[in-house]
Amino acid sequence: MTTMYKNVAYDGKARAGVVTTAHGEIETPIFMPVGTRASVKCMWQHELEEVGAQIILGNTYHLYLRPGHELIEKVGGGLHGFMNWKKPILTDSGGYQVFSLSSMNKLSEEGVRFQSHIDGSYHMISPEKSMEIQRALGSDIVMNFDECPALPATKERLRESMELTLRWAKRCRDYELKEHQNLFGIIQGGLHFDLRTECMERLTEMNFEGYALGGLSVGEKNEEMVEFCSDFVHTMPKDKPRYLMGVGKPLDILTGIKNGLDMFDCVLPTRNARNGQFLTHHGPLNIKKERFKEDTLPPDPDCSCKVCSNYSRSYIRHLYNTGEYLAGQLISYHNLHFFLDMTKQARAHIIAGTFDEYYKTFYNNYTSNQWT
């Protein structure tokens, strides 16, 4: 099988590439909007295309519970048909939500037994069950089922977790997915370089179609994560996509790109939107603030999106303050456009060999925090 990743350019450690799937190509580096329950919150599918989304995420845990993977396969032949999204989809394994959302969960060699956060019913997700669900969802990129311990954790605990994750990875690898599906291995090991390296090497022997860094951005300090990425990412396989799971803020993503990562996802642009936060080229802007009451400027004057071309801060502040649905719609749209424009620009600058310059300018503007 040929690799799904093709490199286009390097600029330092940063890299631009193309990831090929049955539902189309993805130009990397790329940000992936999160469509937890078969919907990126407040966004129509055609709006996702408008803001430049090339691939979106679905959550195995949520879709398993509601409406159920069997229904999605029966009704839509998978998630693509069910939600009418024609471009690539990545599904997570359900592991993270089982640990973070379920009120009760019990870990064993077999998998995780847990209670639904919705109705308290009992369920078991094992590596095989996670693969069964993701197979039914028909995602282009499938994540293996891993354990994700909260940091800080002892090295001993992290090693145990890593060993379990590796045994589970083997069981996922042995599961037969659909022809078009690609399985990614998840590298665990906390901030320990040696553990991560060992995990990566042992996963590489199983020959996954891509590799993800899991268990970061779950409690450790930001600088620690940045430093770890700087040291580690360039040692990852060069011929496979590299995915930093659940990260994150604009500068974290840009730093990830600088270190050679290709794929990123985070609920931040849509979740913060519903709290009134615009991400802008000059830092986060909280639309609730009194200072924007009569402000006729667009949310981000350096942005060309449909929101910034049509609506003023004053108007959106009014919508937000009166609880109008349109506020969440407008801010989500802009924020996703902002993230996707950022990864698009980063790619163009990597290809042009000017990424460092782009990084510095973006960093300086973003940290100027004009709106605090």
Contact pick of 9, 10, 13, 67 for a copy of itself (by CB under 8 A)? 67
Residue count at the site for a copy of itself (CB under 8 A)? 38
322 sits near a copy of itself (criterion: CB under 8 A): yes
- String of DSSP letters for 188-241: --TT-HHHHHHHHHHHHHT--SEEEE-S-SSSS-HHHHHHHHHHHGGGS-TTS-
Name the active-site residue from 92, 140, 262, 300. 92
326 sits near a copy of itself (criterion: CB under 8 A): yes
CA 366 – CA 268 distance, rounded (Å) = 16
37 sits near a copy of itself (criterion: CB under 8 A): yes
Beta bridge partners of 72: none
Cα dihedral across residues 206, 207, 208, 214: positive or negative:
positive
283 sits near a copy of itself (criterion: CB under 8 A): no
Q: Which is nearer to a copy of itself, 80 or 258 (CB)?
A: 80
42 sits near a copy of itself (criterion: CB under 8 A): yes
**Which residue positions form the known binding site for Zn(2+)?**
303, 305, 308, 334
Contact pick of 20, 314, 345, 365 for a copy of itself (by CB under 8 A)? 314
44 sits near a copy of itself (criterion: CB under 8 A): yes
- Three-class DSSP category at 276: coil
**Which residue positions form the known binding site?**
92-96, 146, 188, 215, 303, 305, 308, 334
Contact code string over 288-307 relative to a copy of itself, x by CB under 8 A: -----xx-x---------x-
Neighbours of 110 (CB within 10 A): 14
Q: With contact defined as beta carbons under 8 Å apart, do 306 and 50 qualify? A: yes
Q: With contact defined as beta carbons under 8 Å apart, do 16 and 351 qualify? A: yes
325 sits near a copy of itself (criterion: CB under 8 A): yes
What is the layout of strands, in order, in the sheet containing 89-91?
A: 30-32, 263-265, 242-244, 210-213, 182-187, 141-143, 89-91, 56-58
| DSSP one-letter code for 34 | B
CB of 335 to a copy of itself, least distance (A): 14
Stretch that binds a copy of itself, among 62-70, 153-161, 247-255, 334-342 (CB under 8 A): 62-70
CA 24 – CA 133 distance, rounded (Å) = 22
CA 177 – CA 21 distance, rounded (Å) = 14
**Biggest CA-to-CA distance, the chain:** 60
CB of 311 to a copy of itself, least distance (A): 6
Q: Judge whether 92 counts as a catalytic residue.
A: yes
- Binders in 79-108 for a copy of itself, by CB under 8 A: 82-84
CB of 260 to a copy of itself, least distance (A): 35
Q: With contact defined as beta carbons under 8 Å apart, do 355 and 12 qualify? A: yes
Token duo for residue 337: 């456009």
**Which residue positions form the known binding site for substrate?**
92-96, 146, 188, 215
Closest C-alpha to 189, from 174, 202, 206? 202
Contact pick of 216, 319, 336, 346 for a copy of itself (by CB under 8 A)? 319
Q: Judge whether 265 counts as a catalytic residue.
A: yes
Name the active-site residue from 11, 262, 265, 300. 265
CA distances from 334 to 48, 240, 263, 331 (A): 11, 31, 20, 5
Contact pick of 34, 43, 142, 169 for a copy of itself (by CB under 8 A)? 43
CB of 278 to a copy of itself, least distance (A): 17
Residues lying near a copy of itself in the complex (CB under 8 A) are found at 37-39, 41-46, 62, 66-67, 71, 74-76, 82-84, 293-294, 296, 306, 310-312, 314-315, 318-319, 321-322, 324-326, 328-330
Catalytically annotated residues: 92, 265
